[in-house]
């Protein structure tokens, strides 16, 4: 088979991969879950096929969603190989799940050419209102032009098949067998000992992504279906949210208990239900109903609108909205019938959607040959570059904060495929260079004494030159202030993906930057332990932001063992070691505070102070009277040896605050309240309230410092703080953001429409 077409392959060699998924892997609902289950089946065999994935950024998702966890786990394990845009591969079969993937031509050649493509239609061509959902002819044409010369179309259900009607493309081949959703029975346990429902507390649930189309048209109808205000009924909603308050006008019925949508923990949610009831909007046409299948697999007695009977047969019950609660009451009154229906549901799923439909067997129907090699050949490189550049751009800051957070991400990127590059206005840039990354320095206007407008114009040119030469796949910007020169860079390279990785806890003076998210492909917000107390301007952006768990540069468990850390600093086991870490002092005069803190700490004869001086601060007065009880040093990252510490006194910047808390170090936080800083005070107050630390405002130091330090040096108090902090699970935010950056740097865009993408 040859491929002399648009993909740059003159001749297709023997296929390197067996199957390559070409998908929008960020879908959070049924499509991704279906793919994840297929991958489970494909990859957990004893002799699995070689499977790759091309990550497509399609137009439906504007937010910086991560790749679905059920798919990402296979990438992380190394079994699912991401094919990057600079590579060129071949495969036997390409699986395109969902037509949105090829709604537009890719903006660059695909890294794979397939002997055969299968377009799996997870969505009807028309909704119930008769509105066309996609242009199938265009989709197929784009596949034939860029991926494979042969394309089969496989609907996932009779609903989708029927929606095609007379609209099958002239060259299209629609296969006779539906591409049924498969399910792994072990993932959806059937509890054979479950008792019949308690008539005084009937638990009914539903699970759908938060979208008004997934709910009945009117509140009256929804209340009828979901037993509003019945004291004997609890309605559990997995996939609730503010949209529901708007749709039905809050307050909602008191017996409706909402939980945020999540693709994980669904089985546990379902295991707590007696009934599963799902009704949607009249306009919505459910292509299949993956969440219904999951409920049936768990043996839930499931009630649906009558039109679903075609798909789920005797596995479910069907009723008009007015009859739902009567039907439930009937089954509550008849435990035998209830248990019969549970078994019927489970049996039906096992028969139609479980192991019999192994993913590999199904793909073999489309000509998949037996695997002939153990691994794909070495990565074919283009242009002599094995790795894709990712540019980490940061503003100046007053310390090492922005760079520390970027290093947390860069250090977790796949080093064999991604090259992190740093460009910063920070005098701390050396920490990135010392970590082994290429670095570029661009001066901040404060360091030049330059006017804003002129400086921004030149900054835009400087970034343009760097990006033009470096050709990064992605730019990740860290900073609260998005300068005009920074915003111009992604605007100048519209195909390049860009992420604004910025923290929360903004002060009001930062509000002017809220709208700058429009210059980036997405905004990622590293989580804050004290996030619930944050009422600042970023709360207005939350609909455009993906919030991760807190980000730490060094994992607490990766720190040096305590004895070695103490030896590293020349400290003995008997010392009560207190770190003093007051930042650069650039906008927070700490000279008097430092003297007072040292004096107060040294009153306790057990104390030795480890003063960790910012790389940007001059080395302070050594306080000769302290002798060797004051050890001064510069160290980055100091958290690595923080196991040597018994306590700390310091500011509450994002990184140091989360390191102290997750590192289990009892700390007296004295927040830097300079107006341009984020709200360190909020963090410090949170730690105080939670019993994980102490908070003392700098303006109160005069009267409160002695007592606060006495509190900190009290062994019992510190033990209490450590015990509370020890209950926190280690955050995975750094790995989470790194995965997003790695995946986005491999994405190929089909989300740009021709009128916008093709310049004239």
Partner 1 sequence: MEGKAVFEQLPALEQIAAFPDLMNWPRYLEDRHALLHAKWRPHRAIAYGMPFATYVNTAKDLVSHDNSIAHDR
The residues that touch partner 1, with contacts defined as CB under 8 A, are: 383-386, 389, 419, 421, 433, 438-441, 443, 447-449, 458, 461-462, 465-466, 468-471
Provide the minimum distance between the beta carbon of 438 and partner 1 in the complex, in angstroms, as a whole number. Answer: 5
Cα dihedral 674, 678, 680, 683, rounded to 10, equals: 160
Instruction: Kindly tell me which of 427 and 657 has the beta carbon lying closer to partner 1.
Output: 427
Instruction: Kindly tell me which of 455 and 477 has the beta carbon lying closer to partner 1.
Output: 455
Interatomic CA distance for residues 370 and 373, integer angstroms: 9
Provide the minimum distance between the beta carbon of 448 and partner 1 in the complex, in angstroms, as a whole number. Answer: 5
Instruction: Kindly tell me which of 389 and 642 has the beta carbon lying closer to partner 1.
Output: 389
Interatomic CA distance for residues 117 and 74, integer angstroms: 22
Instruction: Kindly tell me which of 143 and 413 has the beta carbon lying closer to partner 1.
Output: 413
Provide the minimum distance between the beta carbon of 561 and partner 1 in the complex, in angstroms, as a whole number. Answer: 32
Provide the minimum distance between the beta carbon of 443 and partner 1 in the complex, in angstroms, as a whole number. Answer: 7
Provide the minimum distance between the beta carbon of 120 and partner 1 in the complex, in angstroms, as a whole number. Answer: 36
Provide the minimum distance between the beta carbon of 385 and partner 1 in the complex, in angstroms, as a whole number. Answer: 6
Both structure tokens of 680: 């360190």
Mapping DSSP to helix (H, G, I), strand (E, B) and coil, where does residue 353 land? helix
83: region left, alpha or beta (phi > 0 left; psi from -120 to 50 alpha): beta
As a three-state string, the secondary structure of 135-196 is: CHHHHHHHHHHHCECCEEEEECCHHHHHHHCCCCCCCCEECCCCCCCCCCHHHCCCCCCCCC
Interatomic CA distance for residues 712 and 737, integer angstroms: 34
Instruction: Kindly tell me which of 159 and 390 has the beta carbon lying closer to partner 1.
Output: 390
Instruction: Kindly tell me which of 114 and 489 has the beta carbon lying closer to partner 1.
Output: 489
Interatomic CA distance for residues 250 and 258, integer angstroms: 13
Provide the minimum distance between the beta carbon of 449 and partner 1 in the complex, in angstroms, as a whole number. Answer: 7
Provide the minimum distance between the beta carbon of 425 and partner 1 in the complex, in angstroms, as a whole number. Answer: 11
Provide the minimum distance between the beta carbon of 463 and partner 1 in the complex, in angstroms, as a whole number. Answer: 11
Instruction: Kindly tell me which of 458 and 514 has the beta carbon lying closer to partner 1.
Output: 458
Interatomic CA distance for residues 141 and 152, integer angstroms: 12
Give 234's contacts (C-beta < 8 A, 6+ positions apart): 201, 202, 203, 204, 255, 257
Interatomic CA distance for residues 212 and 280, integer angstroms: 8
Interatomic CA distance for residues 745 and 759, integer angstroms: 23
Helix (H) or strand (E) holding 239: strand 233-240
Instruction: Kindly tell me which of 251 and 449 has the beta carbon lying closer to partner 1.
Output: 449
Provide the minimum distance between the beta carbon of 750 and partner 1 in the complex, in angstroms, as a whole number. Answer: 24
Provide the minimum distance between the beta carbon of 458 and partner 1 in the complex, in angstroms, as a whole number. Answer: 5
Instruction: Kindly tell me which of 389 and 643 has the beta carbon lying closer to partner 1.
Output: 389
Give CB contacts under 8 A, 24+ apart, made by 259-263. 260/210, 261/28, 261/208, 261/209, 261/210, 262/238, 263/28, 263/29, 263/32, 263/33, 263/68, 263/69, 263/70
Provide the minimum distance between the beta carbon of 52 and partner 1 in the complex, in angstroms, as a whole number. Answer: 24
Q: Closest Cα partner for 222 from 261, 280, 169?
A: 280
Instruction: Kindly tell me which of 132 and 447 has the beta carbon lying closer to partner 1.
Output: 447
As a three-state string, the secondary structure of 505-538 is: CCCHHHHHHHHHHHHCCEEEECCCCCHHHCCCHH
CA distances from 638 to 400, 645, 735 (A): 12, 11, 20
Provide the minimum distance between the beta carbon of 583 and partner 1 in the complex, in angstroms, as a whole number. Answer: 20
Both structure tokens of 663: 């590192």
Q: Closest Cα partner for 115 from 139, 146, 141, 90?
A: 90
CB-CB contact of 367 with 453 (8 Å):
no
Instruction: Kindly tell me which of 168 and 450 has the beta carbon lying closer to partner 1.
Output: 450
To 5 degrees, how large is the angle CA 688–CA 653–CA 600?
A: 60
Instruction: Kindly tell me which of 225 and 403 has the beta carbon lying closer to partner 1.
Output: 403
Interatomic CA distance for residues 161 and 211, integer angstroms: 24
Provide the minimum distance between the beta carbon of 743 and partner 1 in the complex, in angstroms, as a whole number. Answer: 22
Instruction: Kindly tell me which of 264 and 453 has the beta carbon lying closer to partner 1.
Output: 453
Judged on CB neighbours under 10 Å (0-12, 13-18, 19+), 408 is buried
Instruction: Kindly tell me which of 288 and 437 has the beta carbon lying closer to partner 1.
Output: 437
Instruction: Kindly tell me which of 442 and 499 has the beta carbon lying closer to partner 1.
Output: 442
Residue found under tokens 């990252």: 637
Provide the minimum distance between the beta carbon of 613 and partner 1 in the complex, in angstroms, as a whole number. Answer: 21
CB-CB contact of 135 with 175 (8 Å):
no
Provide the minimum distance between the beta carbon of 90 and partner 1 in the complex, in angstroms, as a whole number. Answer: 22
Instruction: Kindly tell me which of 461 and 491 has the beta carbon lying closer to partner 1.
Output: 461
């Amino acid at each position: 088979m040859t491929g002399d077409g648009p993909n740059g392959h003159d001749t297709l060699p023997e296929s390197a991969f067996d199957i390559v998924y070409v998908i929008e892997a960020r879908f959070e609902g049924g499509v991704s879950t279906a793919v994840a289950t297929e991958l489970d089946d494909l990859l957990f065999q004893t002799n699995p096929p070689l499977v790759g994935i091309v990550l497509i950024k399609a137009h439906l998702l504007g937010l910086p969603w991560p790749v679905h966890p059920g798919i990402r786990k296979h990438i992380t394990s190394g079994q699912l190989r991401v094919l990057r845009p600079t590579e060129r591969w071949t495969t036997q079969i390409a699986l395109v799940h969902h037509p949105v993937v090829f709604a537009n031509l890719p903006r660059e050649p695909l890294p794979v050419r397939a002997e055969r493509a299968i377009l799996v239609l997870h969505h009807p061509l028309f909704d119930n209102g008769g509105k066309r959902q996609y242009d199938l002819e265009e989709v197929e044409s784009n596949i034939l032009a860029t991926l494979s010369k042969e394309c089969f179309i496989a609907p996932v259900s009779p609903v989708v098949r029927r929606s095609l009607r007379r609209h099958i493309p002239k060259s299209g081949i629609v296969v006779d067998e539906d591409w049924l959703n498969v399910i792994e029975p072990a993932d959806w346990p059937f509890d054979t000992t479950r008792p019949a429902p308690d008539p005084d507390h009937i638990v009914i649930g539903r699970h759908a992504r938060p979208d008004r189309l997934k709910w009945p048209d009117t509140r009256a109808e929804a209340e009828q279906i979901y037993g509003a205000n019945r004291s004997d009924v609890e309605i559990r909603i997995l996939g609730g949210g503010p949209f529901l308050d708007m749709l039905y006008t809050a307050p909602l019925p008191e017996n409706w208990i909402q939980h945020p949508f999540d693709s994980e923990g669904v089985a546990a949610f379902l295991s707590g239900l007696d009934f599963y009831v799902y009704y949607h909007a009249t306009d919505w046409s459910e292509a299949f109903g993956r969440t219904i299948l999951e409920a049936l697999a768990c043996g839930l007695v499931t009630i649906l609108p009558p039109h679903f009977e075609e798909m789920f047969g005797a596995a479910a019950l069907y009723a008009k909205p007015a009859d739902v609660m009567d039907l439930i009451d009937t089954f509550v009154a008849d435990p035998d019938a209830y248990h019969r229906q549970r078994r019927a549901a489970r049996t039906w799923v096992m028969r139609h959607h479980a192991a019999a439909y192994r993913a590999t067997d199904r793909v073999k129907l489309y000509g998949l040959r037996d695997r002939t090699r153990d691994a794909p050949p070495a990565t074919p490189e283009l242009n002599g570059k094995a790795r894709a550049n990712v540019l980490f751009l940061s503003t100046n800051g007053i310390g090492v904060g922005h760079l520390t957070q970027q290093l947390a991400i860069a250090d977790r990127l796949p080093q064999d495929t991604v090259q992190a590059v740093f460009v910063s206005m920070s005098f701390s840039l050396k920490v990135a260079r010392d970590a082994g990354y290429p670095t570029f320095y661009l001066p901040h206007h404060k360091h030049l004494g330059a006017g804003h407008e002129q400086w921004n114009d030149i900054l835009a040119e400087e970034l343009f030159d760097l990006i033009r030469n470096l050709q990064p796949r992605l730019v990740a910007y860290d900073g609260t202030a998005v300068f005009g020169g920074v915003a111009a860079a992604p605007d100048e390279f519209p195909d390049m993906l860009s992420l604004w990785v910025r923290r929360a806890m903004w002060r009001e003076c930062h509000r002017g930057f809220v709208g700058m998210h429009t210059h980036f492909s997405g905004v990622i917000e590293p989580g804050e332990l004290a996030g619930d107390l944050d009422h600042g301007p970023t709360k207005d952006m939350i609909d455009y932001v993906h919030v991760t768990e807190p980000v730490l540069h060094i994992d607490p468990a990766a720190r040096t063992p305590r004895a070695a850390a103490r030896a590293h600093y020349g400290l003995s086991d008997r010392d009560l070691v207190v770190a003093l870490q007051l930042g650069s002092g650039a906008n927070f005069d700490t000279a008097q505070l430092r003297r007072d803190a040292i004096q107060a700490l040294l009153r306790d004869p057990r104390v030795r102070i480890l003063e960790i001086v910012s790389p940007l601060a001059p080395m302070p007065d050594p306080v000769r009277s302290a002798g060797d009880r004051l050890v001064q040093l510069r160290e980055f990252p100091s958290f690595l040896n923080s196991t040597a510490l018994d306590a700390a006194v310091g500011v509450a910047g994002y990184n140091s605050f989360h390191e102290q808390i997750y590192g289990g170090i009892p700390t007296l936080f004295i927040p830097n309240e300079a107006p341009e800083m984020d709200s360190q005070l909020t963090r410090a107050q949170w730690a105080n309230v939670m019993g994980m630390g102490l908070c003392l405002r700098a303006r109160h130091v005069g009267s409160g410092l002695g007592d606060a330090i006495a509190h900190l040096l009290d062994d019992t108090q510190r033990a209490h703080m450590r015990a509370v902090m020890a209950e926190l699970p280690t955050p995975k935010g750094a790995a989470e953001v790194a995965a997003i950056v790695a995946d986005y740097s491999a994405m190929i865009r089909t989300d740009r429409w021709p009128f916008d993408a093709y310049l004239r």
